[in-house]
Copies of this chain bind each other. A is one copy, B any other.
Amino acid sequence: MPTEKQQTQVRKEQIAQAVLSLAASHGLRGLSMAAIARRVGFGATAVYRHFKNKDEVLDAALALVGSRLRANVAAVCEETDDAIDRLYRLLMRHIKLIRDNEGIPRIVFSEDFYSGQPQRRARMYRGIEAYLGKVAAIIRQGQQAGQLDRDFEPGSGALMFLGLVQPAAILWHMSDGEFDVTRQARETWQLFLKAIRRN
């Protein structure tokens, strides 16, 4: 047996990360069990020692994405107390996360990921809602502190915040990295700030 044995816990993480990496280069279509396993250094069938089936593997990858997003929010709240600072840092972290793991948007926005899996779609929906809720909380904090305008709903602001990244991210990877996400995000951030800041 050429491959070393490893704990299931370790393997699970490796497999989930392999899904993200592979999705980055080949999307969901080329995401076969064999490809995932090869990435880890496996035969295809070994994956079944750690997961019941492919769906469980994809679920693990999804959970990984969720934990990364939560970590970002926690980090910016650690770094600063200022609402605007928090939002800007979160924006930059979000972009970096996507740049480093191109597979994330490819999976999250891929419809094949959800087709035939209503529970997974529901879980994803709740995950995005939770993320938006945390952004909204930061915005509400800014409104109460008097930095941000009070005449809009924090939820709408949070949605717009997400809109700062999404089109840029899609264009970025459609252009094969040619499109400058970071620069564009900085530009639209200025517009966003003008929209939400107390005049």
Assuming the A-B contacts A121-B174, A162-B167, A188-B159, are A112 and B110 also in contact, with contact meaning beta carbons closer than 8 angstroms in the complex?
yes
A125→B159 contact, CB < 8 A: no
Q: Kindly list chain B residues whose C-beta atoms are within 8 Å of the C-beta of A176.
A: 121
So how many copies of this chain end up in the complex?
2
Interface string of A143-157 (1 = CB under 8 A from B): 000000000110011
Instruction: Say which residue of B115, B128, B162, B195 sits within 8 Å of A26 (CB atoms).
Output: B115
B166→A28 contact, CB < 8 A: no
Beta-carbon nearest neighbor of A191 in chain B? B195
Q: Kindly list chain B residues whose C-beta atoms are within 8 Å of the C-beta of A195.
A: 191-192, 194-195
Q: Which of A104-146 contact B (CB under 8 A)?
A: 106-107, 109-112, 114-116, 121, 124-125, 128-129
Q: Kindly list chain B residues whose C-beta atoms are within 8 Å of the C-beta of A156.
A: 184, 187-188, 191
Q: Kindly list chain B residues whose C-beta atoms are within 8 Å of the C-beta of A159.
A: 167-168, 171, 184, 188
Q: Which of A155-179 contact B (CB under 8 A)?
A: 156-157, 159-160, 162-168, 170-171, 174-176
Assuming the A-B contacts A166-B167, A190-B152, are A29 and B160 also in contact, with contact meaning beta carbons closer than 8 angstroms in the complex?
no
Q: How far is the CA of A197 from the CA of B59 in the complex (A)?
A: 44
A30 within 8 A of B: yes
A199 within 8 A of B: yes
Number of interface residues of A (CB under 8 A): 48
Q: Kindly list chain B residues whose C-beta atoms are within 8 Å of the C-beta of A194.
A: 194-195
Assuming the A-B contacts A184-B156, A187-B153, A191-B156, are A166 and B164 also in contact, with contact meaning beta carbons closer than 8 angstroms in the complex?
no
Assuming the A-B contacts A156-B187, A195-B195, are A111 and B167 also in contact, with contact meaning beta carbons closer than 8 angstroms in the complex?
no
Beta-carbon nearest neighbor of A103 in chain B? B111
Beta-carbon nearest neighbor of A166 in chain B? B166
